[in-house]
Structure 1
């Protein structure tokens, strides 16, 4: 198997290629720019999602083969796990277009997620944000970098703020009463609205925000929403855990990330997790 640095170089190149394809659909310059939006479990899917999924899978498989790796992509995943080895030790977890609603509504907040997971934890991640012309990448123990067409620089999360001064990055669309109640009762009340988990985590590693909270309702975020952004955040010095402090696990056979998840710059992480659990207990008993 190639070493991680070689694999990262391949993943970065594929990330840029995927970003270019998405931009061509986004700005209408694709050969056939009609997005043909369909809905799958209430979530929109466009031809751009499918085209980019095919591109990423074909490129990865052509370069790395099927021997050492399994592949899970949002657009090709079947919950019946159609012959997929849930226990393959090395798995690529891919979201070809995170933030499809934002893509359709032209907010610019959409991203490509590519993560390599070993056993149940990410060891390599690429998050491309096409409209910002930026690509974030990280390897386990190797730090987080942002790459533009001019080169790449290391990134570090914010530090030294008071808890009241932290900024929460929140969704435009996925909201419910329980989450709203939680957000209203946290010690920090500054909020910034951004679509796509990849774009949200990008705002934290760029020091424009400090916290992101995911709370599953009827549905939950999936492995491909979280795996790549998690490593981008933690390698920049942040934390991303369940409210009870346990680490996130991927490639477990259940692709849902149920419960409450908190991503932060790492300062006050445990305090905020405990506070969130307390607030939700109040809400659930009221």
Structure 2
């Protein structure tokens, strides 16, 4: 089944902006729910309301499509198209007011990512991409960093804050921190789109979920970021990204430390 990907991107961007506006408006009155997988895996009523806003509109527009959504509003579909949704990537930052967060929407045809949107509500920035069509920020083309050497590079790191993954991240940080220009910890989607915009020279994400990286990874790849993991393809277990010249050194260092 064919799909107008420009129309899909327009809808996704509009929904992401609507969800971001809801998040800003309700930040002072949010209510926290019970933690999910572990004590640091938090969720608020705003996460759930944002997801419902997005999923309901997608189902109205394309009732045959499947959805995978972080807060449980997914469903099966028969069209061969699946929407991957993280309504609020970076809930801990959002709740504590200590950093950025984003709204993430990706569209897959089978196993292939075809369209992606990542919206930063606080900065009013919308990153997007269509498979084979390049990456955009607020409608203007963006491109990855040309890649300075690791000793000068700004590297992003993202990881799930459960005990096992924190130990894993600690091993990687012990390797990278003395060797890199500097490191920033940010949510996975923004890590990837900041690489796409050249703000970060490289980055890595550990033990994510598909909705954390699906949208950001397509945008990064369309901007010229090289992506991989322990093998030639990135995964939720490990995603490494960098400009072409930085990629060999960064990926080798991360893979050596992540054992």
TM-score scaled by length of structure 1: 0.80
Q: Which of these residues, 167, 170, 185, is aligned with residue 180 of structure 1?
A: 170
Alpha-carbon RMSD? 2.3
1:166-205 per-residue CA deviation (whole Å, 9 max, x = no partner) reads 1111349736233222233248422343432122223222
Q: Residues 185 and 36 (structure 1 numbering): CA distance in 2 closer, same or farther, change over 3 Å?
A: closer
In the aligned structure 1, how far is the partner of 2:73 from the partner of 2:232? 29
Other-structure match for 1:199: 190
Report the CA distance between 1:93 and its aligned residue: 0.3
1:5-36 per-residue CA deviation (whole Å, 9 max, x = no partner) reads 1111111111111111111122x3xxxx2323
Q: Which of these residues, 201, 207, 211, is aligned with residue 224 of structure 1?
A: 211
Poorly superposed stretches of 4+, deviation over 3 Å: 171-175
1:252-285 per-residue CA deviation (whole Å, 9 max, x = no partner) reads xxxxx23x3212223332343233222334xxxx
For structure 1, list consecutive stretches of 5 or more residues without a partner in the other structure. Answer: 249-256, 282-286
Other-structure match for 1:165: 152
Residues paired across the two proteins, number: 252
In the aligned structure 2, how far is the partner of 1:140 from the partner of 1:74? 23
Q: Which of these residues, 221, 227, 231, is aligned with residue 244 of structure 1?
A: 231
Alignment of 1:41-190 (within 5 A): 41-42=37-38, 43-65=41-63, 67=64, 69-76=65-72, 84=76, 89-147=80-138, 152-171=139-158, 174=161, 176-186=166-176, 188-190=179-181
In the aligned structure 2, how far is the partner of 1:239 from the partner of 1:54? 33
Secondary structure class of the residue paired with 1:198: helix
TM-score scaled by length of structure 2: 0.88
In the aligned structure 1, how far is the partner of 2:126 from the partner of 2:185? 17
In the aligned structure 2, how far is the partner of 1:129 from the partner of 1:195? 12
For structure 2, list consecutive stretches of 5 or more residues without a partner in the other structure. Answer: none
